[in-house]
Amino acid sequence: MTPQASTLEQWVDRYMNFLVVEKGLADHSVAAYAGDLRQFLNFLKSHCIDSFAHADTAAILKYIIELRSTGRGPKTRARHLIAVRGLFQYLRQMGHLSTNAAKLIDLPKGGLKLPEVLTVQEMERLVDAPDRKSPRGKRDAAMLETIYAAGLRVSELVALTLSAVNLESGFVRVLGKGDKERIVPLGQRAMGALADYFGAGRPVLLKQVASRYAFTAWGGNPMTRQGFGKLLRKYTLQAGIHKRVTPHSLRHSFASHLLEGGADLRSVQLMLGHADIATTQIYTHVAQKRLIEIHRKYHPRG
């Protein structure tokens, strides 16, 4: 191995360590980045590029074109480009590069799938679907209100403990990816549903069985992701929503509705628990699409 090639790989190793230690990315995410960047390094070596400073925009674009020529779809090519962008941004922050040449290349069309979101009216119908007079209905309503109010991943929702929910201050403490903790507001509707469930629903479901989890199934066991998915499909039908609604759709809706309402991207990033604001930026496409529709409908020359 040449000294130059060694330097390339050493920088990638440092970046991987940065993702683990500083960004707190999960092991599978780091492994995916490492695999994509390994292919990028092989491309550089095969084209006799021995320094990242020599990997200009034209070289990176050629790499993306080669990926397409080998049958890689737009989503895969976008993922590779995002990996290279992240590496180059790190190299720039470390003073190894003066610019991020990868930022000048647009993501392949169709590479980032716009998230399926519910309208505000559809979301209201969905959270109102459970029968809030029954213990199960109280639980289900509280789960739907909470996942939407706080923009939780389904894994975060089912893992919530009683001690993580603070109804007095109106916040929920969430343990996200990479064991990173964040505090997210709940809002009045979710707080009301949770108070009703904790007071009159959860004790009936537990039947004097102790459990540390906020949302329980029979026997005090925590609700599972699969269990919540089944409940969501049931209430989607009841609400008359003719879309493929998944737990992640509710998280998408949370982010999109905030941005449409005027929230800044940085605040939404913090509430979602994204390590990189670039991950949050996909939601701006949804908000922009909605703005375009409003402009066309209401502007005299739209």
pLDDT tens digit sequence for 62-118: 898 888 888 888 888 888 998 999 999 999 999 988 888 888 777 766 555 555 789
> According to the model, what pLDDT value does residue 3 have?
38
Q: CB under 8 Å to 178, separation ≥6 — which residues?
A: 23, 24, 25, 26, 275
> According to the model, what pLDDT value does residue 106 have?
73
- Three-state SS for 213? strand
Average pLDDT of the residues of the chain:
85
pTM for the structure as a whole: 0.62
134 and 72 fall within a common domain: no
Give catalytic status of residue 133 as yes or no: no
User: Reading across the β-sheet that carries 171-175, which strands appear in turn?
Assistant: 165-166, 171-175, 181-185
> According to the model, what pLDDT value does residue 283 have?
63
Give tens-digit pLDDT for 121-150.
Answer: 999 999 999 999 999 999 999 999 999 999
**Mean pLDDT of all residues in 170-185:** 85
- Bridge-based pairing of strands 165-166 and 181-185 is unpaired
Which of 78, 104, 130 is the last residue before a domain boundary?
104
55 and 140 fall within a common domain: no
111 within a domain of the structure (yes/no) = no
Give catalytic status of residue 225 as yes or no: no
125 within a domain of the structure (yes/no) = yes
**How many CA atoms, within 13 angstroms, populate the side-chain half-sphere of residue 228?**
28
CB atoms within 10 A of CB 19: 22
Give tens-digit pLDDT for 235-287.
Answer: 999 999 998 898 988 988 888 888 777 777 777 778 888 766 556 666 665 55
Q: Which helix (H) or strand (E) holds 97?
A: none
95 within a domain of the structure (yes/no) = yes
> According to the model, what pLDDT value does residue 288 have?
57
Which of 41, 73, 104 is the last residue before a domain boundary?
104
> According to the model, what pLDDT value does residue 87 have?
94
Nearest to 87 by CA among 96, 78, 75, 76: 96
Q: Is 50 exceeded by the pLDDT of residue 4? A: no
- Active-site residue (options: 77, 85, 139, 153): 153
pLDDT confidence bin for 179, thresholds 50/70/90: confident
> According to the model, what pLDDT value does residue 206 have?
92
Instruction: Count the domains in the chain.
Output: 2
> According to the model, what pLDDT value does residue 256 have?
82
- Active-site residue (options: 79, 138, 251, 257): 251
- Active-site residue (options: 177, 189, 285, 289): 177
> According to the model, what pLDDT value does residue 297 have?
67
> According to the model, what pLDDT value does residue 286 have?
56
Contact 81, 105 (CB under 8 A): yes
Q: Kindly calculate the radius of gyration of the chain based on its CA atoms and give it in whole angstroms.
A: 23
pLDDT confidence bin for 21, thresholds 50/70/90: confident
164 and 99 fall within a common domain: no
Give catalytic status of residue 207 as yes or no: no
Give catalytic status of residue 248 as yes or no: yes
pLDDT confidence bin for 5, thresholds 50/70/90: very low
Give catalytic status of residue 251 as yes or no: yes
> According to the model, what pLDDT value does residue 129 have?
97
Give catalytic status of residue 148 as yes or no: no
> According to the model, what pLDDT value does residue 64 have?
87
73 and 154 fall within a common domain: no
> According to the model, what pLDDT value does residue 299 have?
47
137 and 94 fall within a common domain: no
284 within a domain of the structure (yes/no) = yes
> According to the model, what pLDDT value does residue 1 have?
37
249 and 160 fall within a common domain: yes
The parent domain of residue 228 ranges over 120-294
